[in-house]
Structure 1
Amino acid sequence: MDGHRFAVSRLLPPPGLPRAIAYQSAMVAVGSGTFLTGSIVFFTEVLGLSAVQIGVGFSIAGLAGVATSLPLGALADRIGGQRSWAVGALGSALTFAAYPLVMSFVGFVVLMVVAAVTDSFANAGRTIYTADAMPAGDRVRTMAYARSYLNAGFTLGTGLGAVALAFDSAAALVAMVLLNSALSLLNAGLVTRLPAAPVVRHDRAATASRWAVLKDLPYVTTAVLLAVMMFHSVILVEILPLWAITHTDAPKPLLGAMLALNTVLVITLQVPASRGADSLPGAARLIRRGALVTALACPVAALAGRTGGGWTVVALLGVVVLVTTTELWFSAALWFVQTNVPPAASRGVYLGTAQTISSAADVFAPVGLTLLAIQTGGWGWWVVAAIFVGCALAAGPAVGWVARTSRIDAGADAPPPSSSTPDSEAAVRPTSA
């Protein structure tokens, strides 16, 4: 009994704000998981859209996300993280409520764009609020719990989506969409009831320095590195399943087991895997380790194309474990950089800049990785491995450059984030005058 209680306590976030954020993450993920499971069926059977129209809608929405990340970040800095989070969640709720009313392709595209913008705004607001409201030493751990609970909620949502699809009716598909809308609306209301974060002062100097991120070459360089590191997600979700069904003898049901394994690992290990992401040197170590692990996974994936039977299954599941390990370490490092490097008055613009770079990389990653890993017949996996080895080699110098660079916040020159006292708010967050 004591062992059971200990196991449960490890999965339970600390009381107060960390627990509230985790629970809300799970709730929102139930809605998004439900919707995403049946969204394509809803778009085709209820809205009457073609596959080409759906693809064009996703592409336009993606471009809108790239174009609006930076201005949305600036707006989030201006009105505050909590308000941005609430407004974005409310916008998402209204958008999904409007989906069943769509009568044309143009209306679909408009809603897709609005959904992308409101989701981006809500995510930026949540990150800014977490950074503002939590002590420096608790930010990464809080976000780790939130991500663990998000995955649990998403898993439940996919189950609900499957149930909706089983009814094979338009009413069930519409109900699936409206559930997502209702949970987003509830989330918006709950966000407004969270404790207010400390007010970040925006004087004239801070406003002028907000756009200094565009000249912050160390940060931009690191953002590019992190965007390339995000290729691991494309490998896990798109490239590896495609490789498995086209170049190995793996049974198709194994794809579901691969996804389930990833989900279980994230739910149970994200929090402990975040240890060490308490300083910039610690973040650099996690990035380096994560890059090397995926570099190791690439030749294992190639090997799966030459094995048979049980060995193929073992190889593919091994790749999932390795790339998921990268996912866990990389996420923790990313959260530390997001919440502790930017000046407090400019977090939104810094997040927007990183998101713009990441979104731009997302445009090319699926095609590029498919050409390398799939179209080459397997030898391209070694090229992908070399890319991640390059990331591992660049992690220390790039993050070290960020650590040595001073940034301006609220009109005062602030020292770079310290590596010696990472748990001190003053050490990792630029001071205000």
Structure 2
Amino acid sequence: MSRPTPWPSTVLNRIPGGRDGRRMLVVSIIDKTGTGLWAGCTVLYFTYVSGLGLGQVGLLMTVSGGVGIAGAPLAGRLADRFPLVKIIVGAQLVRGAALLALLTTDNLFLLTLYSALGALPDRAGSVLIKLYAARLAGPERVRYQAIQRTTVNIGWSIGGLGAAAALATGSTRAYGLLLIGNVLTYVVIAALTLRCAEPPAPSRVAATSATACDRATATPTSPWRDRTFLGYTATDAALYLDDTILQVAVPLWIVHATSAPVGLAPLLLVLNTVLVVIFQVPLARFGATSRAARRLLVPLAGLFLIGTLALAASAAGGTALAVTALVVAVVALTFAEIIHATASWELSVALAPAHAQGAYLGVHGLAQSTQRFAGPLLVTGVISAGALAWPLLGLGLVAAGAAQHRLIRDRLSKPSLSVPKVTVSEY
């Protein structure tokens, strides 16, 4: 009689992609633990260690964020031409080197230059991991991405707690130590990534299996000429706004427009993280096919509307109403975040032809990068306009979801070009 497989082993064996899939998840959690160490004190480092003023810090963050937008399409284009694992390793090492360079100067120009150089591979990271998941996990890519996102949130939490403990010492030396800690994680994950096997590129499979006629009638090779995909990317940029609302708008709204205690802000961010960790993987099954992912756009619109209405309501009364409404808003917007992530993972790959998958996903990466750049300006404008602006923003997000739902209908009625008939497991 054989012994049953221990529970931890059973769980690990269910992770798509086998050993390399598990190894890349370890890379993700170490990566985000290091990022969590540094992200929470970045602005403070430039203020207290580099000695920059408020306007100078704002300029640095704006310029580096703008330059970083180019990272996603650049990474996608490179991934169609060179081994993906080597590109990921290169991006990790560049991120580490650019961050380490911050320790060498207090000059605003050089700090901005190094931050911008680091922003390029940083923004490319999500595209490269999505490509790796699509190539390694094949049809199970949505489940793999859901597991990967859960590990990311766990890593962020660990890093954030470590940063909080270090900064509690009140020493400016702690900022430099946190920076170095993040740099060391890049070295570690680069070494681990080198141990991952190179997954077969769909572009090569497509090139050998598709006839010239097939390629001529397929989706345009260049995503910049594909109006449907560009429209999808534009609407997805709007739907990514949940991230900025949760991370930027909610804390500012608590301080400037409600009677809720300021200490509620970090608790709501913890609530967001916990909900993502608990529900991202279970809910991923509802977006496992392209048509199912498209159907998720309907409840997504409803969640956006509930969340923005709750934010408006939080400014209408006393502390109890404010706290209750803010919790409702964060719960609704967190589930919007979870559902949108699931739908976006599947649709962005399903709409991309296999022979240009990297280029397409690189362009789609502009959606998240653009939102990160322009989103804070938009939500601060909403906050300045007052409570009635929140429902208007919610209706705008509903319109974006409806437009995307209609836009991609005809493309998804055709056989998917994103997953080759020969899967990774058959190689």
TM-score of the alignment, normalized to the shorter chain, above 0.5: yes
| Cα displacement (A) at 1:7 | 11
Structure 2 length normalisation: TM-score?
0.88
Preserved CA contact (<8 Å) 1:288 1:395: no
Q: Taking structure 1 as reference, are residues 12 and 426 closer, same or farther at Cα in structure 2, changes over 3 Å only?
A: closer
Question: Take 1:358 and 1:99, find their aligned partners in 2: how far apart are those partners?
Answer: 25
| Cα displacement (A) at 1:334 | 1.0
Question: Take 1:332 and 1:396, find their aligned partners in 2: how far apart are those partners?
Answer: 15
Partner of 1:195: 197
| Aligned equivalent of 2:78, options 66, 75, 80 | 75
Q: Taking structure 1 as reference, are residues 255 and 11 closer, same or farther at Cα in structure 2, changes over 3 Å only?
A: farther
RMSD between aligned residues: 2.9
| Cα displacement (A) at 1:135 | 2.1
| Aligned equivalent of 2:92, options 85, 89, 108 | 89
- Return 98-107 or 314-323, whichever deviates more: 98-107
Preserved CA contact (<8 Å) 2:85 2:197: no
Q: What is the aligned residue count?
A: 409
Preserved CA contact (<8 Å) 2:77 2:359: yes
Partner of 2:396: 387
Question: Take 2:138 and 2:286, find their aligned partners in 1: how far apart are those partners?
Answer: 16
| Cα displacement (A) at 1:170 | 3.6
Is residue 221 of structure 1 aligned with residue 223 of structure 2? no
Partner of 1:16: 19
- Return 188-197 or 316-325, whichever deviates more: 188-197
Structure 1 length normalisation: TM-score?
0.86
| Cα displacement (A) at 1:318 | 0.8
| Cα displacement (A) at 1:381 | 1.5
| Cα displacement (A) at 1:363 | 3.8
| Cα displacement (A) at 1:12 | 9.2
Question: Take 2:314 and 2:14, find their aligned partners in 1: how far apart are those partners?
Answer: 38
Secondary structure at the counterpart of residue 167 of structure 1? coil
Question: Take 2:220 and 2:116, find their aligned partners in 1: how far apart are those partners?
Answer: 26
Is residue 269 of structure 1 aligned with residue 264 of structure 2? no
Structure 1 residue runs without a partner (length 5+): 406-414, 419-423
Partner of 2:380: 370
Is residue 339 of structure 1 aligned with residue 349 of structure 2? yes
| Aligned equivalent of 1:329, options 303, 321, 339 | 339
Partner of 2:410: 401
Partner of 1:186: 188
Question: Take 1:106 and 1:315, find their aligned partners in 2: how far apart are those partners?
Answer: 43
Q: Taking structure 1 as reference, are residues 283 and 157 closer, same or farther at Cα in structure 2, changes over 3 Å only?
A: same
Question: Take 2:14 and 2:105, find their aligned partners in 1: how far apart are those partners?
Answer: 40
| Cα displacement (A) at 1:329 | 0.5
Structure 2 residue runs without a partner (length 5+): 1-5
Q: Taking structure 1 as reference, are residues 209 and 301 closer, same or farther at Cα in structure 2, changes over 3 Å only?
A: closer
Partner of 2:3: none
Alignment of 1:342-361 (within 5 A): 342-361=352-371
| 1:368-415 deviation digits (Å, cap 9, x = unpaired) | 33333x22321112211211221342242122133146xxxxxxxxx4
Letter in 2 for 1:141: R
Q: Taking structure 1 as reference, are residues 121 and 235 closer, same or farther at Cα in structure 2, changes over 3 Å only?
A: closer
Partner of 2:36: 33
Question: Take 1:230 and 1:73, find their aligned partners in 2: how far apart are those partners?
Answer: 19
Question: Take 1:68 and 1:160, find their aligned partners in 2: how far apart are those partners?
Answer: 28
Partner of 1:319: 329
- Return 195-204 or 287-296, whichever deviates more: 195-204
Preserved CA contact (<8 Å) 1:403 1:417: no
Preserved CA contact (<8 Å) 1:292 1:388: no
| Cα displacement (A) at 1:45 | 2.1
Question: Take 2:246 and 2:279, find their aligned partners in 1: how far apart are those partners?
Answer: 17
Is residue 426 of structure 1 aligned with residue 415 of structure 2? no
Partner of 1:62: 65
Q: Taking structure 1 as reference, are residues 8 and 254 closer, same or farther at Cα in structure 2, changes over 3 Å only?
A: farther
| Cα displacement (A) at 1:243 | 1.7
Letter in 2 for 1:78: R
Question: Take 1:203 and 1:105, find their aligned partners in 2: how far apart are those partners?
Answer: 48
| 1:264-323 deviation digits (Å, cap 9, x = unpaired) | 001111101211212221111122211211112211211111132323211110111000
Q: Taking structure 1 as reference, are residues 108 and 218 closer, same or farther at Cα in structure 2, changes over 3 Å only?
A: same
Preserved CA contact (<8 Å) 1:84 1:122: no
Preserved CA contact (<8 Å) 2:31 2:189: yes
| 1:53-108 deviation digits (Å, cap 9, x = unpaired) | 22111111122122443233212221132221111011112222222112411210
**Identity fraction in percent:** 25
Q: Taking structure 1 as reference, are residues 182 and 345 closer, same or farther at Cα in structure 2, changes over 3 Å only?
A: farther
Question: Take 1:369 and 1:43, find their aligned partners in 2: how far apart are those partners?
Answer: 24
| Cα displacement (A) at 1:11 | 9.5
Secondary structure at the counterpart of residue 252 of structure 1? coil
Secondary structure at the counterpart of residue 198 of structure 1? coil
Is residue 164 of structure 1 aligned with residue 159 of structure 2? no
- Return 220-229 or 166-175, whichever deviates more: 166-175
Secondary structure at the counterpart of residue 196 of structure 1? coil
Question: Take 1:79 and 1:303, find their aligned partners in 2: how far apart are those partners?
Answer: 51
Q: Taking structure 1 as reference, are residues 335 and 255 closer, same or farther at Cα in structure 2, changes over 3 Å only?
A: same
Partner of 2:177: 175
Letter in 2 for 1:382: P
Is residue 300 of structure 1 aligned with residue 303 of structure 2? no
Secondary structure at the counterpart of residue 234 of structure 1? helix
Preserved CA contact (<8 Å) 1:132 1:344: no
Letter in 1 for 2:327: L
Q: Taking structure 1 as reference, are residues 99 and 362 closer, same or farther at Cα in structure 2, changes over 3 Å only?
A: closer
Secondary structure at the counterpart of residue 426 of structure 1? coil
